[in-house]
């Protein structure tokens, strides 16, 4: 049975629309034939603006099906062309958060690997040195919080490769909770993995104003734990600064 959609719009104007994708939803059509986020947005735009005929919607960036969070779409071809170029040049700042099952040996740093891709397995493999047909993958990470058994990591990509975060974190012994494909021992009950595209910041492709959008955490118990821990950490930091002043 196909899942029901709940579309949370984070930002919208005449050229772009940003939504909070739920884990389990697909951005674009695949062999399953399931309804997509793009389908849902097109239906929403068609109804809201009473548009006749087909609705244009460009997809400059995709999230894997089990991943949640910020997803951006272009409502005009002009915006799509510019967003594609901005992603290619690394001009869009996107922050991810991952819950991992082991503590990184170093609390923050930069990971550099060369990734190869197995199309049949739909899986990436990380190598420490250049390989034939491998693409260089770079990300920055920092441990943000810790619970009894898990760690919350902030990630910023310097490159955009297939399954990059999932593969690189697994390569340092820190697979993402629920990600069986990359070494997690158990799946999550809802089929998600604990990887969330938390926020996006960029210069608007047409108006050139700075756009920032943040996606609330998924309604998954462990995310709620880390939301509370992060809030407590922020409050503690604010109190300390006030006393210090």
pLDDT in tens, 181-218: 999 999 999 999 999 999 999 999 999 999 999 999 99
Give the homologous superfamily in CATH for domain 8-236.
Pseudouridine synthase (3.30.2350.10)
Q: Which residues contact 149 (CB under 8 A, 6 or more apart)?
A: 101
The answer to whether 79 and 206 have CB atoms below 8 angstroms apart is yes
pLDDT digits (tens, 9 = 90+) for 37-90: 999 999 999 999 888 889 999 999 999 999 999 999 999 999 999 999 999 999
Q: How confident is the model over 123-148, as pLDDT tens digits? A: 999 999 999 999 999 999 999 999 99
Residues 130, 114 contacting (CB under 8 angstroms): yes
- Mean pLDDT taken over the chain: 91
- Tell me the torsion sign for CA atoms 72, 77, 78, 81: positive
Comparing CA positions, the residue from 195, 21, 218, 214 lying closest to residue 97 is 195
Q: Give the start-to-end residue ranges of the domains of the chain.
A: 8-236
Q: What is the pLDDT of residue 32?
A: 78
| pLDDT band per the 50, 70, 90 thresholds, residue 13 | very high
């Amino acid at each position: 049975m196909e899942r029901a959609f709940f579309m949370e719009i984070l930002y919208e104007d005449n050229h772009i629309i940003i939504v909070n994708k739920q884990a389990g939803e697909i951005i674009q059509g695949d062999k399953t034939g399931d309804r997509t986020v793009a389908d849902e947005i097109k239906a929403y735009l068609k109804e809201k603006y009473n548009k006749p005929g087909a609705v244009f919607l460009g997809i400059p960036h995709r999230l894997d099906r089990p991943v949640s969070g910020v997803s951006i779409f272009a409502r005009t071809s002009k915006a799509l062309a510019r967003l594609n170029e901005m992603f290619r040049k690394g001009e869009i700042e996107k922050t991810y958060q991952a819950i991992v099952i082991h503590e990184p040996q170093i609390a923050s740093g930069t990971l550099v690997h060369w990734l190869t891709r197995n199309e049949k397995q739909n899986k990436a493999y990380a190598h420490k040195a250049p390989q034939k047909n491998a693409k260089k993958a770079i990300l920055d990470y920092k441990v943000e919080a810790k619970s009894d058994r898990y760690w919350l990591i902030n990630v910023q990509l310097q490159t955009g490769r297939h399954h990059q975060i999932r593969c690189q974190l697994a390569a340092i012994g820190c697979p993402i909770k629920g990600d069986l494909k990359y070494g997690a021992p158990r799946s999550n009950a809802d089929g998600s993995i604990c990887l969330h595209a938390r926020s996006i910041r960029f210069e608007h492709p047409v108006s050139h104003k700075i756009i920032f959008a943040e996606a609330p955490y998924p309604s998954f118990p462990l995310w709620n734990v880390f939301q509370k821990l992060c809030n407590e950490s922020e409050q503690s930091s604010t109190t300390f600064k006030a006393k210090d002043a």
